[in-house]
């Protein structure tokens, strides 16, 4: 989070915890925007729930779409989304087809749109829908798809990916009209030809949803996703997972050759499956109108004040009292070692991979046929054998031309599916980064003091009591959530932001209850009677607070400050001292040292 990174700069400490650095990774250049149309069946059957307390399929779809909207706002707000109902009474579309209602055209997700979707939630939503739009009796799927295609073609932006998600619980919409059915098939084929993907999010139907009746020919089986067919979803959770899996298009970071030796190579695609989500950086707004401001950075010559072109500048670094100057191209050249690619070094047993030698988030490797045909077969053979022999492949990895190489371990991963046939783990290799000698640091360790078996057993009992099943998606980022709730509240003029639940906080009450007397028993075994594990620390905490509340003692006289300013040694003072000085003169400085320095210097120069 760049914003408060600079805001709260830890002082002078090399170890400062830049947890949220701005190296937001994402190396891919956007070639266009992803676009997604939610196509929702709004005929009467969608509003009938089988149980009293069960969600209606329509309600489920809407909630699901809303969740995608809010997620997109967080993760990729440039993407375009649209919502289209069909089987409606009223119609609203550019071609004036009957029974098709375009609720939202393709555009960025925003607060207003989310609000609009909220109107259709729950029982009231059902009513609202019936009042505003109503159910129609008839529709033609080919026309529906036609409207969708028009929505795509109306968009002014370049689109990299077009997808339609069809939510319905009717498995044979044109059962009695073969002409309509065949037209729908042709239209679906046309969509495929223009690169529009069509996914079926089929919902529960009494008697089961039979894909083979109609939709098998309609849905576009992406050549890459052959063999992945979902079961119908009866729960919101299932539907959400299905939609999540499809909503983002997988973007290949790099396409690289994996070279077994000089002349045998296959191509692979590198993907990232975890990517830190950051709070978006703030936009500068003009204070008067709240319009976004364009920022321009220019370089001037200090002496002549003339404008400098980027090519006029060089890079420099001071070492051993000497300024070393390099051209910008040379700084790039420094990093050039290999051609981009993965070069096989050899194989090692899986157990030699050290978990605690973690360096960077791992990437995912999957074969790519686009450059070398037959890559998949060799890849598949490698994967099979690596799994069987429990080995990993060590490779030298150069993702780009001007990137120095690093060593990586390709760890084989077998495909995993859950009972809904949703892929939990795709087949391929995990690309795990291996550290260089310089990346490891020597750490002064505390002398080893072993616990006795009795103590270990007691702790085992504690551990067993607090068992849970870890799922990677069970924790939300409280900071991000809070930020977006705030934004939402401001955008929608809510009185107060929706309360977030911080899932990262330990549930101490539950834990205490589960542990019961075990903790005291353990303490008795381990800690001496008068020992207080919190004692010292709390004492220090008080110290911290008192020293924090007390103003720094260093009060500088005006003369001293003036002397510092004239000598240019103001920078030697500490930030608290500078702040104090600013306070004395009623100056408003920033929080950064440089800002404080500037303010003070200016003040004294004026005086």
Partner 1 sequence: MLSITNSRRNKRPESAHAQSVDAQFPRPLQAPREAAFPATIQPLQLRIRRPRGLWGSMFKWGGGAAVVLCMDVGLAMSNSFPGEESPFELAKKVITMFVQRQVFAENKDEVALVLFGTDGTENALAGEDQYQNITVHRHLMRPDFDLLEDIESKIQPGSQQADFLDALIVCMDLIQKETLGKKFEKRHIEVFTDLSSPFSRDQLDIIIDNLKKSGMSLQFFLPFPIVKKGGTGDRGDGSLLLDDHGPSFPPKGITEQQKEGIQMVKKVMMSLEGEDGLEEIYSFSESLRQLCVFKKTERHSMPWSCQLTIGSNLSIKIVAYKSVSGRYTFFKEMLPGREMCLYKKLMPFSCSPGFRYGSDIIPFSKVDEEQMKYRSEGKCFSVLGFCRSSQVHMKYFMGNQVLKVFAAKDDEAAAVALSSLIHALDELDMVAVVRYAYDQRTNPQVGVAFPLIKDTYECLAYIQLPFMEDLRQYMFSSLKNNRKCTPTEAQLSAVDALIDSMSLVQKDEEEGTIEDLFPTSKIPNPQFQRLFQCLLHRALHPQEPLPPIQQHILSMLDPPTEVTAKGQVPVSKIKTLFPLTEVIKKKNQVTGQDLFQDNPEEGPTCKRLKTEEEEARFSVSSLAEGTVTCVGSVNPADNFRVLVRQKKASFEEASHQLINHIEQFLDTNETLYFMKSMDCIKAFREEAIQFSEEQRFNNFLKALQEKVEVKQLNHFWEIVIHGKVSIFLAPKENANTDTAAAFEEGGDVDDLVSTSNTYQVFSCLNLADL
CB of 36 to partner 1, least distance (A): 14
Residue count (the chain): 607
- The rounded distance, in Å, linking the Cα atoms of 157 and 111 is 21
Q: Which of residues 84-103 bind partner 1 (CB under 8 A)?
A: 95
Whether residue 411 contacts residue 429, with contact meaning beta carbons closer than 8 Å, is answered with: yes
Decide: is 111 part of the binding site for partner 1 (CB under 8 A).
yes
Stretch that binds partner 1, among 98-106, 343-351, 570-578, 597-605 (CB under 8 A): 343-351
CB-based contacts of 386: which residues, under 8 Å, 6+ apart? 347, 392, 393, 410, 412, 429
- The rounded distance, in Å, linking the Cα atoms of 337 and 324 is 22
207/533 with CB nearer partner 1: 533
Decide: is 467 part of the binding site for partner 1 (CB under 8 A).
yes
CB of 33 to partner 1, least distance (A): 12
274/554 with CB nearer partner 1: 274
Stretch that binds partner 1, among 43-51, 201-209, 374-382, 581-589 (CB under 8 A): 374-382
Map residues 164-183 to x or -, x wherever contact with partner 1 holds by CB under 8 A.
--------------------
Which one of 92, 135, 244, 603 is in contact with partner 1 (CB under 8 A)? 244
Decide: is 443 part of the binding site for partner 1 (CB under 8 A).
yes
Whether residue 42 contacts residue 85, with contact meaning beta carbons closer than 8 Å, is answered with: yes
- The rounded distance, in Å, linking the Cα atoms of 137 and 462 is 62
Distance of CA 502 to the CA centre of its chain: 18
143/170 with CB nearer partner 1: 143
Element (H, E) at 466: none
- The rounded distance, in Å, linking the Cα atoms of 554 and 546 is 16
| Bridge partners, 163 (sequence order) | 36, 197
469/606 with CB nearer partner 1: 469
Q: Which of residues 284-313 bind partner 1 (CB under 8 A)?
A: 284-288, 290, 292-293, 295-303, 308, 312-313
Q: Which of residues 38-77 bind partner 1 (CB under 8 A)?
A: 69, 72-75, 77
Q: Which of residues 316-335 bind partner 1 (CB under 8 A)?
A: 316-326, 330-331, 333-335
CB-based contacts of 244: which residues, under 8 Å, 6+ apart? 68, 71
Which one of 229, 235, 400, 440 is in contact with partner 1 (CB under 8 A)? 440
Decide: is 112 part of the binding site for partner 1 (CB under 8 A).
yes
> Strand pairing of 423-425 and 416-417?
antiparallel
217/476 with CB nearer partner 1: 476
Decide: is 469 part of the binding site for partner 1 (CB under 8 A).
yes
Map residues 127-156 to x or -, x wherever contact with partner 1 holds by CB under 8 A.
------------------------------
Which one of 399, 426, 552, 576 is in contact with partner 1 (CB under 8 A)? 426
Decide: is 484 part of the binding site for partner 1 (CB under 8 A).
yes
Decide: is 158 part of the binding site for partner 1 (CB under 8 A).
no
- Indicate the burial class of 487 (C-beta count within 10 angstroms; 0-12, 13-18, 19 or more): middle
Stretch that binds partner 1, among 119-127, 518-526, 550-558, 567-575 (CB under 8 A): 518-526
CB of 134 to partner 1, least distance (A): 25
* Dihedral pair phi/psi, residue 363, rounded to 5°: -115, 175
CB of 276 to partner 1, least distance (A): 5
72/204 with CB nearer partner 1: 72
Which one of 188, 256, 268, 411 is in contact with partner 1 (CB under 8 A)? 411
Cα angle 132-137-139, degrees, rounded to a multiple of 5: 95
Instruction: Show the tokens assigned to 65.
Output: 């779409």
The arrangement of strands across the sheet holding 100-107 comes to: 100-107, 80-86, 33-41, 159-168, 196-202
- The rounded distance, in Å, linking the Cα atoms of 411 and 425 is 13
Element (H, E) at 347: strand 341-349
Decide: is 519 part of the binding site for partner 1 (CB under 8 A).
yes
């Amino acid at each position: 989070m760049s914003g408060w990174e600079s805001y709260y700069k830890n002082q002078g400490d090399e170890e400062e915890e830049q947890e949220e650095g701005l190296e937001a990774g994402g190396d891919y250049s956007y070639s266009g925007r992803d676009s997604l149309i939610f196509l929702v069946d709004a005929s009467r059957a969608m509003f009938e729930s089988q149980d009293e307390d069960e969600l209606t399929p329509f309600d489920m779809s809407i909630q699901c779409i809303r969740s995608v909207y809010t997620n997109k706002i967080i993760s990729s707000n440039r993407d375009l989304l649209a919502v289209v109902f069909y089987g409606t009474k009223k119609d609203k579309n550019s071609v004036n087809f009957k029974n098709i209602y375009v609720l939202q055209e393709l555009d960025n997700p925003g607060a207003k749109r989310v609000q609009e979707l909220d109107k259709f939630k729950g029982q009231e939503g059902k009513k609202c829908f019936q009042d505003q739009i109503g159910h129609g009796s008839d529709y033609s799927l080919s026309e529906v798809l036609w409207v969708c295609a028009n929505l795509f073609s109306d968009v002014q932006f370049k689109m990299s990916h077009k997808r339609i998600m069809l939510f319905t619980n009717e498995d044979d919409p044109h059962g009695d009209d073969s002409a309509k059915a065949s037209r729908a098939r042709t239209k679906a084929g046309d969509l495929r030809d223009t690169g529009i993907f069509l996914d079926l999010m089929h919902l529960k139907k009494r008697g089961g949803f039979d894909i083979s009746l109609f939709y098998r020919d309609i849905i576009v089986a992406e050549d890459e996703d052959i063999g992945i067919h979902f079961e119908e979803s009866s729960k919101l959770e299932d539907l959400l997972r299905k939609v999540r899996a499809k909503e983002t298009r997988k973007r290949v970071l790099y396409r690289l050759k994996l070279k077994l030796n000089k002349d045998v190579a296959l191509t692979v695609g590198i993907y990232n499956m975890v990517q830190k989500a950051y709070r978006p950086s703030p936009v500068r707004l003009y204070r008067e109108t709240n319009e976004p401001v364009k920022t321009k950075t220019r370089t001037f010559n200090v002496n002549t004040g003339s404008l400098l072109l980027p090519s006029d500048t060089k890079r420099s670094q001071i070492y051993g009292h000497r300024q070393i100057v390099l051209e910008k191209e040379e700084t790039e050249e420094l990093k050039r070692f290999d051609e981009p690619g993965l070069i096989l070094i050899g194989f090692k047993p899986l157990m030699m991979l050290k978990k605690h030698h973690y360096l960077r988030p791992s990437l995912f490797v999957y074969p790519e046929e686009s450059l070398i045909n037959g890559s998949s077969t060799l890849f598949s053979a490698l994967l099979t054998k690596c799994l069987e022999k429990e080995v990993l492949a060590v490779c030298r990895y150069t993702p780009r031309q001007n990137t120095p190489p690093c060593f990586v371990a390709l760890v084989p991963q077998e495909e995993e599916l859950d009972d809904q046939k949703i892929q939990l783990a795709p087949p391929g290799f995990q690309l795990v980064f291996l550290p260089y000698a310089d990346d490891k640091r020597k750490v002064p360790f505390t002398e080893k003091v072993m616990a006795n078996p009795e103590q270990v057993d007691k702790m085992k009992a504690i551990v067993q009591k607090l068992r849970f099943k870890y799922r990677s998606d069970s924790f939300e980022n409280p900071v991000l959530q809070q930020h977006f709730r705030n934004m939402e509240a401001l955008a929608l003029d809510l009185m107060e932001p929706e309360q977030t639940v911080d899932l990262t906080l330990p549930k101490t009450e539950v834990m205490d209850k589960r542990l019961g007397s075990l903790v005291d028993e353990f303490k008795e075994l381990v800690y001496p009677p008068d020992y207080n594990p919190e004692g010292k620390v709390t004492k220090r905490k008080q110290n911290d607070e008192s020293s924090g509340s007390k103003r720094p003692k260093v009060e500088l006289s005006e003369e001293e400050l003036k002397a510092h300013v004239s000598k240019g040694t103001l920078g030697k003072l500490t930030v608290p001292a500078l702040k104090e000085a600013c306070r004395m003169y009623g100056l408003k400085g920033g929080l950064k040292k440089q800002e404080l320095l500037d303010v003070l210097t200016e003040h004294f120069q004026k005086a």
